Structure 1
Amino acid sequence: MALTDVAVKQAKPQDKPYQLPDGESLYLEVTPAGGKRWLFRYRFNGKAGKLALGKYPTVRIAEARDKAAAARKLLADGINPGAQRKADKLAAKLSSESTFAAIAGEWHDKEKHEWSEQHAERVMTSLELHIFPYIGATPINDIKPLELLEVLRRVEKAGNLDTCKRLRQRCSSIFRLAILTGRCDSDPAAPLVDALKTPQVEHRKALNRDELPEFLHALKEMDSNRQTKLMMELMLHTFTRVGEMSMARWEEIDFDAKLWTIPPEHRKLTEKSKKSAAPHLVPLSDHALAILRELQAISGGREHIFPNRNSPNRPMSPETLRRALHRMGFKGKADVHGFRSTASTILNEEGFNPDAIERQLAHVERNRVRAAYNRAEYMEERRRMMQWWSNYVSQQQVG
């Protein structure tokens, strides 16, 4: 006799589990704790089987009967419903592990050891913000170029062309990982290069020869902290990267050898490269040494040459120099990083060895043999070059 909803609801627990048949191999099992679940018993190839169809009251009688009917249909088609259930669960698991977001996570874990912690966080945040809400839950092999293009065009239409370009590149890397691991057949991001707008390359603003006197006069007249002025001057005389300058420590300076040794961890390198890279050696001119001696009176007792005023145990922020440039009236006219271009241009025009200039700029040499050779070369030439450069800069000061 078929069960009724009232009978199921009123079924009381007993000392041992017991079943209430509904007919056609469908049962309600009641446990001593009062739990109730639907079971479907069957035989397949002569072997008994049992299929759980869900708990009551989440699964009501009508739904349990529909599930039992579906199981009987599978049996009639020669399919074991228990085996089919396992196959469906495995397919669902594989599908969830093959979504774009899941593989993006794998890619991020694989690559992040070569990035700084901040960059790794920026990469994942960009995907979470711009990509995952739209195709993150989609199986990666189901994503088509047009679908990805629509997602990227949202970023493009917002005017973020650089972000759009980087996102396409990151998506392409994720698809390539999926191809290599057998979860994707093609890279739908690859053909989108020509479908997206190309961001305009904006070079760092650099001073030319004629602008140096005006800049140095503005620096002299700037109403600012003396330490900030000295940092700007030292940047001009050494043309290092601003991150290297802000992180500089007194232990890196050898006054007797007239040398600043920048450790690999402060250089602009991938995290992986930092582990094996050599320090960057910066010959110090007499002018640079004089600036450093003045700075000793200000911060000589600190770890950093340029300590943060609010948190003296931390270095000064590179942002300080950008704000100083704005106060000097050079917003949009000059960039701190542009000092490197200014020095490089003038030194090349004056006939200095281009290889020595590149070595002084610490540009990464892509040719490994040449890089190994250049590492120890040009030091005396660079010393003369850096002294010439400091003399030249000092001669540009007017007033």
Structure 2
Amino acid sequence: MATQQLTDTAVKQAAIKEKQYKLSDGGGLYLLIKPNGSKYWRFDYRFAGKRKTLSLGTYPLISLKAARLKLLEAKTLLSDNKDPASEKQREKRQADLDQGSLFSLLAEEWWSHQKGTWKDFHADRVWGRIRDDVLPYIGHMSITDIQPPDIISVIRKIESRDALDVASRVLQDIGRICRYAVQTGRLMHNPAADLKGILKGRKTKHRDSLPREELPGFLEALSGYENQGRLLTKLAIQLLLLTFVRSGELRGAKWEEFDLDQQLWRIPGDRMKMKTDHLVPLSDQALAVIKQIKEISGQYELVFPSERNRFEAMSDNTMRRAIFKLGYDGTTPGKSKAVPHGFRATASSILNEEGFNPDAIERQLAHQERNGVRAAYTHHARYLDDRKEMMQWWADYLDDLKTDTKVIPL
């Protein structure tokens, strides 16, 4: 062995300089001193014709004697034609595997822990995102090695195929997995916690909806629609206006869902976007429309059966075509483009302007509760009294518009 050049005293008293420098101990071993005072043991060697550097730890955690022992171990591996750096990485991966610290193992553990709280289809969708969009890139990494740039790289790959919604959900998934790692003591800090704002934005596309000032004209045009098309189609649009449910929820309505004595329409969860039951208070005007509809389709299971097949629901395009026939297709001067789903935005905008409880409006729109704690306690009957009052006001307001060319807020 070459004559050793370093002593414990020399290592301990190594001066701090403006630039990093080395103190050699011979045989490729040296102490790297940083301007901030940190001291790192390094070993320079060649393997397969390439120059490499192996980190042996920091001083004083690793003493001069311990560094020399590590140097000897590394040279023993080299004599066996093994790369010390590769062996170190392999040992670390095995340790991570033994401790369950690989991201892939933590992801599966977190998912297994959570899936009992989800519906099967949602659990499958979450795991599918993780399996396809996350694990191929960071699944092999130790949770302690993952840094914000690693996560951003995953997100950018998803965004590159314009799957911005998936990118947003994947960022949430990674954040939840890392938070679980913190909670279970395998990570000190969540690397996804400070990534707010890194997602690419997409210009919001709003459904075509009628402005408030065009409602009177639309209602007047709709009142004479039976001269141009099916009466049942006209009544469907009227009920859609009065209830502002999603068009698919209306078209799939069954007579068994209506309690006309209680003036309530109970839409079962399997027909709702959020998969929970939804109550729609029926105004006096809505009740009158439903009674008209019952005279036409009361003998069928579906409230709005298809004209061609009474066992199938009205087509998605039936109401849309009727609205366009009234001139609201975006090509008629003085008339905006309107679509069935847009009535929800029109109603929401007016009700918010009139000062109704925003939570009652959101509940009536059957929007998903954004706050997780509140969502756990959200019930389909929440704010029901407020909603009954609001729905009757909305129906009365629409009646007022039929006989006035101005919008008259109460």
TM-score range, shorter chain: 0.5 to 0.7
Q: Residues 285 and 390 of structure 1 are in contact (CA less than 8 Å); yes or no, is this contact kept in structure 2?
A: no
Note the 1:143-154 alignment, pairs <5 A.
143-154=146-157
Who is 1:49 aligned against? none
Aligned-residue offset at 1:207:
1.6
Aligned-residue offset at 1:147:
1.8
Unpaired runs of 5+ in structure 2? 1-75, 78-90, 406-410
Note the 1:1-399 alignment, pairs <5 A.
91=94, 94-95=97-98, 97-212=100-215, 215=218, 217=221, 220=225, 230-242=235-247, 244-263=249-268, 269=274, 274=276, 280-291=279-290, 293-294=292-293, 297-298=296-297, 300-302=299-301, 304-306=302-304, 329=329, 333-334=337-338, 336-347=340-351, 349=353, 360-361=364-365, 375=383, 377-378=385-386, 381-382=389-390, 384-392=392-400, 394-395=402-403
**SS at structure 1 position matched to 2:194:** helix
Aligned-residue offset at 1:181:
2.0
- Aligned partners of 1:99 and 1:299: how far apart in 2? 60
- Aligned partners of 1:135 and 1:150: how far apart in 2? 10
Instruction: Describe the superposition over 1:292-342 as per-residue Cα deviations: whole angstroms up to 9, x where unpaired.
Output: 53255336321x434578997676686876787788636995454432231
Unpaired runs of 5+ in structure 1? 1-72, 75-87
TM-score, normalization: structure 1? 0.57
- Aligned partners of 1:121 and 1:310: how far apart in 2? 37
Q: Which structure dedicates a bigger proportion of its chain to helix?
A: 1
Who is 2:86 aligned against? none
Q: Residues 283 and 382 of structure 1 are in contact (CA less than 8 Å); yes or no, is this contact kept in structure 2?
A: no
- Aligned partners of 1:98 and 1:320: how far apart in 2? 55
TM-score, normalization: structure 2? 0.56
Instruction: Describe the superposition over 1:116-158 as per-residue Cα deviations: whole angstroms up to 9, x where unpaired.
Output: 5444443333333322222233333332222221121112233
Aligned-residue offset at 1:258:
3.2
Instruction: Describe the superposition over 1:224-263 as per-residue Cα deviations: whole angstroms up to 9, x where unpaired.
Output: 8765554333211111244543453312212344332345
**SS at structure 2 position matched to 1:142:** coil
Who is 2:58 aligned against? none
- Aligned partners of 1:224 and 1:112: how far apart in 2? 49
**SS at structure 1 position matched to 2:144:** helix
Residue type matched to 1:329 in 2?
A: D
Aligned-residue offset at 1:362:
5.5
Residue type matched to 1:101 in 2?
A: S
Aligned-residue offset at 1:188:
2.1
Aligned-residue offset at 1:352:
6.4
Change (3 A) 1:172 1:383: closer
Residue type matched to 1:346 in 2?
A: I
Aligned-residue offset at 1:214:
5.9
- Aligned partners of 1:225 and 1:96: how far apart in 2? 68
- Aligned partners of 1:317 and 1:110: how far apart in 2? 42
Q: Residues 144 and 187 of structure 2 are in contact (CA less than 8 Å); yes or no, is this contact kept in structure 1?
A: yes
- Aligned partners of 2:258 and 2:170: how far apart in 1? 41
- Aligned partners of 1:268 and 1:395: how far apart in 2? 36
Overall identity of the aligned pairs, in %: 36
Residue type matched to 1:207 in 2?
A: L
